[in-house]
Structure 1
Amino acid sequence: MKVTIDNLDGQGAVDYSAALCADVPLKIERVLNAPSRCSGMLDVSDAGLAVPMRRGRIVVISASGTVLFTGYVATEPQAVYAGTATKGPVYRYAFSAISDEWLLDKQSVPVSGAGLAQAAGQVLTTLTNRVDGGLFTTTGVLNGAAVGVFDPAPAGSWSVNAGNVAAATYASYRVLNGAVSLQPAGTVTHTLSDGDGTLQVAALQTSAVKELANDVTVSGEMEPAAYITETFAGDGTTTVFQLSEAPFRPKGAANSSLLLSDSFNQGVFNPQVWQLADPGSHLGLSAAGLTMTGGNGFDGQTTLMAIDAIEMGGTLVIEAGNVQFGVASDGVVCGLYSGVIERANCFVGYNVRQSGGSTVVIPLVNGAEVGMVYTLLSGHTYTLRIRLHCVETQRVLQRYYAMVDGAVEAFGGGVVSAPMAVVFELQDLGVASNTPATVLYDGAVTSSPASCSFVSVNSVQLFGSMGYCRVTQTGSAWVASTLPSGVKMTRLIGVAGEGINCTVSATGKVTFLAGRVPVAGELVTVTYRGQQRAIARLEDPASVAAEAEGSAPGTARWLGKVLRPASRSSVDCENAAQAVLSFSASRAAAVAGTYEAMNPSDVWPGDVLTITSRGKTMNVVVRQVAIEDGSSWPEALTYRIAFANDWAEGLGLTLSEAIAADALLPLTALATPGNVLANLQQLQVVSATGTALQVDAGTAPPAGGGFEVRRRDWDFGLGVDQDLVLRSPVRNFSIPREGQVEQYYVRMYDGSAPPVYSRFSSAVFTNLPVS
C-alpha cells in the first residue's frame, strides 16, 4: 500500500508508506452516502519526514493501483509517546483524514428551492455548483432515477444533502480523486455464497433484526385537507372577518415563504440563483439594478432564468419593482414557462412591445395576450405583479424507491392537475403608495402546469432596468367579492403600501384596509384549504393470509413516520406505505449481517451482494466497508463488509418508529392505494339568498352516483343518516338555508357497492342573513 501526503509546503506529494506503523493498521472506513475516513499511525522520525499538517492532502493506493482513499487531514495529528531514544523522547503521530468532500462541507450551502421531478444527477450537480463548482469534476455523476420533490436541508452540509439526494433515488454518491460520482445502488454486484473461495471468505454472518410487517401505517407532514369556500356579507363598516379555520400554509411559512429574491445590487448575477444566457452581453447590473440594453432579436436567447423551478401550487405572488422600459422595447418579463423559453410556452408573464410609437405592457397567458393594454410613461417607474391561486398546494407527488427481488422499483410520482386563477396588477410608483393597483387582467385557466421555470427577463430587444424581483408563496387563501350589482372581482392580498385590499393572518383573520371595506350587500368569499396530518394505512392481503395459522390472525402491524423523502400528502403516504410493504412483508424481511474477505475486488457502499446461503438467495446493499492493511508483502487487505436490506436499514426511505402524535389513525387498512374519486376542486356557491344556497359542483356526477352533502366531515356513506343534508344526482343543486352561520361538506360518490367517495370534502361555510 502506498500512502502520500502533500503538506501544502511546496514539496508536493511525499511518500509516507515507510512511516506507517505495522502494529497499528491503516484503516479506511466507507459509509453509504457519507464521507469516508482514513486513520493510522506514522513514525516520521526514522524516515526523516515532516509531521503531517492539518489540511494536508492524503492519497492511499493499493499495490494493484486501485485508489482506495483521497482526502484531507482534518485535525492536527496527535503525538503519542513511543519511548526514549539516544536523542530524547520519541513520538509517533496518529492521524485522521476525511474524504475529499470535506472541502465542500467546510463551505456554506446556500438556501435553494426544491428539486421537482428532476434526475438525481441533475440535482446533485446543481448542489455542487452552488457550493463551489470549481473544486471537483462532476462528469461521473449519472442522471439516475428522478426525485419526486427534494428539499435541501438549509442547515445541512454538502455531504448531508448529497447523501439525501442519493438515498432518495436509491443511489450512492462518492467523492474520490477530485471527482464527484453518483450511480444507482447495485451498479456493481458481487455474487457470493457460503464457503465462496473467489473472495477468500473468512466469515459470513446474517441475522433477522426486525419482524415482518404486512399492515403498515405511515404518517407524513401536515397536508391541505378540505377545500373551503367561506362567504361573509359586507355592511359598509365591518373591516375584520374571522375565518372558521386557519388556512393551510406550506411547512416553514409563517406569513409567506420567500422562494426567490434578488435586489440586483452585486457586481455580477448571483450564480447560485440565476442561469444567464446572454450571447450579446445585453444584460448587466448597474445602480438601477438589472439593466437591459437590447437583445439579439430572437425570442428565448437572451434570458435570466432562475435555477430552481417553481411549483405551481397554492397562492403565489411574482413581483418586479422599480421597473423602467425605454423606447423600442420588445420581450417578456416576470415569465413562468412550461417548456422551452419562448413566448409560445409562457404560461404567465408581462409582454412588452411597441404600439403606436409607445411602449406597452400586456398580460400574457398561455402564450396569448389577454386583458388591458397599459401604456408606460417615459421616466416613470412601475411595480409589476402577477398573483396566482391554485386550490392544490402540492402539484408534484413524491417518489419512493425500494429493492424488490433484486431490482429497484419506484412507487408514486406524477403530478396533480388543477385550475388556476390569475391576476395581473401594476402600480405606477410616481403615484402615492396607497393608490390602488391597476388590475390589467383578472381571470382563470382550467388547466395549469405543475411546475414552471421562472425567467425574470426574456429580452428580444428590451431597454430599461429592474430594481428587484421576488417570488413568494403566501399560503392557500384567496379573497374575491361579488358586488350588489353582480360584478365579481378578486380582492388583492398583501401588505400596506402595495395598493392591496386586505391582509390575511396565519390564524385566518381577514382585515380590509381603509377605503377598501366591503360595502353593504357585498358578498366576500374566501377560498382556502383546511389542514390535517397526512396518513395512510395499507396491508398485503397475501401475506396476511399466509401468516394466519389456525385461529390466529395473520396481521402483523407496524406504525411509523416517513422522515425522508418527505410525505407531503396522504397520497404520498400511500405510496410510501406501498414501498414499505414491498420489502417488509417477507418472512426474511429484515436481514443484516457482515461479510469478511481478503483482497477482494474493491467494494464500496452501494454495491449489492447477491448471497446464496443455505440454499436461499438474497440481495442486500452494502452499507459500510472497513479496510485494514495487514502490513505484509504480498499485500493483505482485509475487507469487513456490513450489509442490510431495506427493512433492516432504510435507503430509499428513512422511517421512524414514532408515528406523529396528532395523526388520526385509519380504522381499516386498504389493499390498494388510490381507490378514491376526484376531489371537487371547482365547486362553488353560485348564489346565496335568504332561503337557499345554489351550488355548482363543477363537474358532472359519475354514472349511478352523485353528490352527498353533510353537516360534518369524515362520516360519508350510504346508510349513514346522521348529519346527512341531501344527495343530489345532478351537478347543480340547492341547499336550504337553516341559519345565519352554516357549514356544509360535499363529496362526490359513484354507483359501486359500497360507493367510492372523493378523498377530501369541498366545504361551504357561510355567515349570511337568512329570511
Structure 2
Amino acid sequence: MKVTIDNLDGAGAVDCSAALCTTGPLKIARTLNAPSICSGMLDVSDAGLAVPVRRGRAVVTAANGTVLFTGYIATDPEAVYAGTGVKGSVYRYAFSAVSDEWLLDKQSVPLSGAGLAQSGGQLLTTLTNRVDAGLFTTTGVRNGLPVGVYEPLQTESWSANAGGVASATYAAYRVLNGSIGLQPAGTVTHALSDGDGSLQVATLKTTAVKELANDVTVSGEIEPTAYVTETFAGDGTTTVFQLSEDPFRPKKAANSVQFLTDNFNEAVLDTQIWQVADPGSHLGLGASGLTMTGGNGFDGQTTLTAIDQVEMGGSLVIEAGNLQLGGASAGVVCGLYKGAAQSANCFVGYNVRQSGGNTVAVPFVNGAEAGTVFTMLQGHTYTLRIRLHCVEMQRVLQNYYAMVDGVVASFGGGLVSAPMSVVFELQDLGAASNTPATVLYDGSVVTSPANCTFAAVNSVQLIGSMGYCRITQTGSGWVVSTLPSGVKMTRLIGVAGEGVDCKISAAGKVTFFAGRVPVAGELVTVTYRGRLRAVARLADEASVAQEAAGGMPGTAQWLGKVVKPAARSSMDCEGAAMAVLSFSASRAAAVSGSYVAVNSQDVWPGDVLAITSAGQTMSVMVRKVEIVDGMGRPEMLTYRMAFANDWAEGLGLTLSEAIAVDALLPQKALSSTLPVGGSVLANLQELQVVSATGTALQVDSGTAPPTGGGFEVRRRDGDFGPGVDQDLVLRSPVRSFSIPREGQVEHYYVRMFDGSTPPLYSRFSSAVFTNLPVSE
C-alpha cells in the first residue's frame, strides 16, 4: 500500500509508506452515502519526513494501482509519545483524513427550492454546482431513478444533502480523486464464498429488534385535509371575519414561503438562483436592478430561468417589481412554462409587444392572450403580479424505493391533477398606495400542470429594467366575493400598500382593508384546506394468513414515522407503507451481518455481495467497509464488510421507531395489493355553493356521480357509510342538490360514494361552512 501526503508547502506529494506504524495500522472506513475516513500513525522522525499538517492532501493506493482513498487531513495530527531516542523524545503522529467532499462540506449550502420529479443525478449535480461549481467533475454522476420531492437543507453539509439525494433514489455516491460519482445501489456485484473469507449473519437487528411485520402504520407530515368553502355576509361595516378552522399553510413559515426572491442588487447575476441564456449579452445588472437591452429576436433564446421548478399547488404569487419597459419591447415577463421557456409552452405570463407605437402588456394563458390589454406609459414604474390558486397543495407525489427479490422496486409517485384559478393584476407605482390594483384577467383553467419552469424574462426584444422578482407561496386561502348584482370577483390577498383587498392570518382571521370592506348583501366566500397529520395503515394479507397457520394470531403490527423522503400526504404514507411491507413481511426480517476477506476485490458501500455458503447463494447489500493494512509483503488488505437488508437498515427511506403522537390511527388496514389511492374515490375539488338563500344552499358537486352512487352530506366529518344515520343530512344521486337551511351558522361535509359493496368514498370531505341569515 502506498500513502502520499502533500502538505501544500511546495514540496508536492511525499511518499510516507515507509513511515507507517504497525501500532496504528492504516485504516480506511467507508460508509454508505457518507464521507470516507482514513486514519493511521506515522513515524516521521526515522524516515526524515515532515510532520503532516491540517489540510494536507492524502492519497492511498493499493499495490495493484487501485486508488483506495483521496482526501484531506481535517485536524492537526496528534503527537503520541513513543519513547526517548538519541536526539531526545520521539513522537509518532496519528492522523485522520476525510475524503475529498470535505472541501464541499466546509462551504455553506445555499437556500434553494425543492427538486420536483427529477433524477437523483440531476439533483446532485445542481447541488454541487450551487456549492462550488468548479471544484470537482461530475462526469461520473448517473441520472438514475427519479425523486418525487427533495429539498436540500441549509443546516446540513453538502455530504449530508448528497447522501439524502442518493438514498432517496436508492443509489450510492462517492467522491474519489477529484470526481463525484453516483450510481444505483447494486450496480456492482462481487461473487464470494465461505472459502474466500468468514461470514457472520445476525437475523435480527440488535439495537431495536425488528421482527416480521405484516401490518404497518406510518405517519408523515401535517397534510391539507378537508376542502373548505366558508361563506359570510357583508354588511358594509364588518372588516374582520373569523374562519371556523385554521387554514393549512406550508410548515416553513406562518404567513408565506418564498420559493424565489432576487433583488438584483449584486455585481453579477446569481447563478445559484438562475440559469442565464444570453448569447447577445442583453441581460445585466445596474442601478435599477436587472437591465434588459433587447434580444436576438428569437423566442426562448435570451432568458433568465430559475434553476428550481415551481410546484403549482396552493396560493402562489408571482411578482416583478419596479418594472420599466419601453422602446420596441417584445417578449414574456414572469412566465411559468410547461417545458422550455418558449411562448408556445407558456402556461401563464405577461406577453409584452407593440401596438400602435405603444408597449403593451397582455395576460398570457396557455400560450394565448387573454383578458385586458394594458398600455405601459413611458417612464412609469409598475408592479406586475400573477396570482394562482389550486385547491391541491401537493401536486408531486413522493417516490419510495426498496430492494425486492434483488431488484429495486418503486412505490408511490405520480402527479396530482387539479384546476387552477388565475388572476393578473398590475399596480402603477406612481399612484397612491391605497389605489386598487388593476385586474387584467380573472378566470380559471380546467387542467393545470403539476410543476412549471419559471423564467423572469424571455426577451425577444425587451428593453427596460426590473427592480426585483419573487415567487411566494401564501398558503391555501383564496377569497371570492359575489356582489348583490350577482357579479363575482376575486378578492386580492396581500399586505396594505399593495393595492390589495384583504389579508388572511395563520389563525384564520380574514381582515379587509379600508376602502375594500364588503358591502351590504355581498357574499364573501373563503376557500381553504383543513389540516391533520398524514397517516396510512396497510397489511400484507397473504403474510397475515400464512402467520395465522396453526391457530396463531396472524397480524404482526409495526408503527413508525417516515423521516426521509418526507411523506407530505396520506397518499405518500401509503406509498411508504407499501415499500416497508415489501421487506418487513419477509421471514428473514431484519437480516444483517458481516463478511471478512483478505485481498478481495475493492468493495464499496452500495455494492452487492453474492455470497455462496453451504451451497446457497445470498445476495446482500454492503453498508460499510473497513480496509485494514496488514503491513506485510506481499500486500495484505483485510476487508471487513457490514451488510444489511432494508428492514435492518433503511436506504430508500428512513424510518423512526416512534409514530407521531398526534396521528389519528386508522382502525382498519388497507390491502397492500391495491395501488396507492385505490381504496378511495376522487375528492370533490370543484364543489361549490351556487346560491345561498334564507331557506337553502344550492350545491354543485362539480362532477357527475359514479354509477350506482352519489353524494353524501353530513353535519360532522367522519362516519361516512351506509347504515350510519347519525349526523346524516341527505344522499343525492345527482350532481346538483339543495341542502335545507336550519341556522345562521352551519357546517356540512360532503363526500362522493360509488355503487360497490361496501361503497368507496372520497378520501377527504368537501366542507360547506356558512354564516348567513336564515328566513324566519
TM range (shorter): over 0.9
Q: Within 1, Cα distance between the matches of 2:24 and 2:757?
A: 72
**Distance (whole Å) between structure 2 residues aligned to residue 509 and residue 547 of structure 1:** 53
Paired residue for 1:768? 772
Aligned to 1:727: 731
Q: CA deviation at 1:203?
A: 3.9
Alpha-carbon contact 2:147-2:398 (below 8 Å) kept: yes
Instruction: Identify the residue that residue 65 of structure 1 maps to in structure 2.
Output: 65
Distance in 1, matches of 2:668 and 2:486, equals 47
**Distance in 2 (alpha carbons) for counterparts of 1:431 and 1:313:** 32
Aligned residues of 1:253 and 1:474 also touching (Cα < 8 A): no
Superposed CA deviations along residues 138-183 of structure 1, whole A, max 9, x for unmatched, are 0000000000100112200000000000000000000000000000
State the secondary structure of the residue aligned to 1:620.
Answer: strand
Equivalent in the alignment of 2:46: 46
Partner of 1:291: 291
Aligned to 1:329: 329
Q: How does 1:740-751 map to 2 (within 5 A)?
A: 740-751=744-755
Root-mean-square deviation (Å): 0.8
Deviation at 1:434, TM superposition (A): 1.3
- The aligned residue for residue 454 of structure 1 is 454
Residue 550 of structure 1 deviates from its aligned partner by 2.6
User: Which deviates more from structure 2 when the two are superposed, residues 760-769 or residues 150-159?
Assistant: 150-159
8 Å contact from structure 1 (residues 294, 459) kept in 2: yes
Counterpart amino acid of residue 661 in structure 1: V
Give yes or no for contact 1:263–1:467 (8 Å, CA) kept in 2.
yes
Which region of structure 1 is more displaced relative to structure 2, 544-553 or 92-101?
544-553
Q: Which residue of 2 aligns with 1:659?
A: 659
- CA shift, 1:602, in A, is 0.2
Q: CA deviation at 1:553?
A: 1.3
One of 201, 206, 209 as aligned partner of 2:197: 201
Under a length normalisation based on structure 1, what TM-score does the superposition of the two structures give?
0.99
Deviation at 1:608, TM superposition (A): 1.1
Deviations 1:677-716 (A, max 9, x none): 1000000000000000000000000100000000011110
The separation in 1 between residues aligned to 2:174 and 2:499, in whole angstroms, is 52
Conserved 8 A contact 1:79-1:91: yes
The 2-side partners of 1:464 and 1:562 are apart by 49
Question: Which whole-Å deviations, capped at 9, do the CAs of 1:83-141 have from their partners, x for residues lacking one?
Answer: 11111111100000000000000000001110100010000000000000111000000
SS in 2 for 1:580: helix
2 CA distance for matches of 1:575 and 1:617? 30
Find the counterpart in structure 1 of residue 758 from structure 2: 754
Instruction: Give the equivalent residue in structure 1 for 2:21.
Output: 21
CA distance in 1, matches of 2:389, 2:8: 56
Q: How does 1:81-480 map to 2 (within 5 A)?
A: 81-193=81-193, 195-196=194-195, 200-209=196-205, 210-480=210-480
- Offset, 1:615: 5.1
Aligned 1:477-556 pairs, distance under 5 A: 477-556=477-556
Cα separation, 2, equivalents of 1:610 and 1:415: 37
Q: Is the 8 A contact 2:340 2:453 kept in 1?
A: no
Q: One-letter code of the match for 2:773? A: P
Shift of residue 728 of structure 1?
Answer: 0.4
Instruction: Identify which range, 99-108 or 609-618, moves more after superposition.
Output: 609-618
**1:341-390: CA deviations, max 9, x gaps?**
11111000000000011000000000010000000111000000000000
Q: Is the 8 A contact 2:203 2:588 kept in 1?
A: no
- Aligned partners of 1:517 and 1:331: how far apart in 2? 38
TM superposition score normalised by structure 2: 0.98
Unpaired stretches in structure 1, ≥5 consecutive residues: none
Rounded to whole Å, the distance in 2 between the matches of 1:676 and 1:612 is 46
The residue identity in structure 1 corresponding to 2:198 is A
> Structure 2: how far apart are the matches of 1:612 and 1:728?
64
3-state SS in 1 of match to 2:460: strand
2:394 counterpart letter in structure 1: Q
| Secondary structure of the structure 1 residue equivalent to 2:480 | strand
- 1:125 aligns to what SS in structure 2? helix
Following TM superposition, by how much is the alpha carbon of 1:500 offset from its aligned partner in structure 2, in angstroms? 0.6
Say if 2:695 is the partner of 1:699.
no
Q: Which amino acid aligns with 2:305?
A: M
Structure 1 counterpart of 2:547, one-letter code: E
| In 1, Cα distance between equivalents of 2:62 and 2:550 | 59
**Secondary structure of 1:128's partner?**
helix
> Distance in 1 between the 2:550 and 2:79 partners?
67
Q: CA deviation at 1:616?
A: 4.6
1:111 maps to a residue whose letter is: L
Counterpart residue type for residue 205 of structure 1: V
Question: What is residue 568 of structure 1 aligned with on the other side?
Answer: 568
What amino acid sits opposite 1:313 in the alignment? Answer: G
Separation of aligned partners in 2, 1:340 and 1:510: 38
Quote the offset at 1:410 in angstroms. 0.5
Gapped regions of structure 2 (runs ≥ 5): none
In structure 2, distance between residues paired with 1:736 and 1:58: 79
Amino acid of the residue matched to residue 742 of structure 2?
Answer: E
Find the residue that maps to 1:401 and give its secondary structure: strand
Report how far residue 33 of structure 1 moved: 0.2
> 1:203 and 1:724, CA in 2 relative to 1: closer, same or farther beyond 3 A?
closer
**Is the counterpart of residue 713 in structure 1 residue 717 in structure 2?**
yes
Q: In the alignment, is residue 737 of structure 1 matched against residue 741 of structure 2? A: yes
2:688 matched residue in structure 1 = 684
Alpha-carbon distance, 1:205 to partner: 3.4
1:208, CA displacement in angstroms?
2.5
**Aligned to 1:709, what secondary structure does the other structure show?**
strand
* SS of residue paired to 2:159: helix
- Residues 203 and 597, structure 1, Cα contact 8 Å, conserved in 2: no
Distance 1:388 1:613 in 2: 61
C-alpha deviation, 1:610, in angstroms: 2.4
- Report the number of matched residues: 767
State the alpha-carbon separation in 1 of the partners of residues 87 and 504 from structure 2: 79
**Residue 617 (structure 1) shift:** 4.0
> What per-residue deviation string (whole Å, max 9, x for no partner) do you get for residues 53-98 of structure 1?
1000000000010000000000001101111111111110000000
Structure 1 residues 248 and 320: alpha-carbon distance in aligned structure 2, compared to 1, 3 A threshold: same
Task: Name the CA distance, whole Å, in 1 between partners of 2:176 and 2:504.
Answer: 51
Preserved contact between residue 34 and residue 160 of structure 1 (Cα < 8 Å): yes
What is the letter of the counterpart of residue 497 of structure 2?
Answer: G
2: CA distance between counterparts of 1:551 and 1:379? 85
Check the 8 A contact 1:202/1:598 in 2, yes or no: no
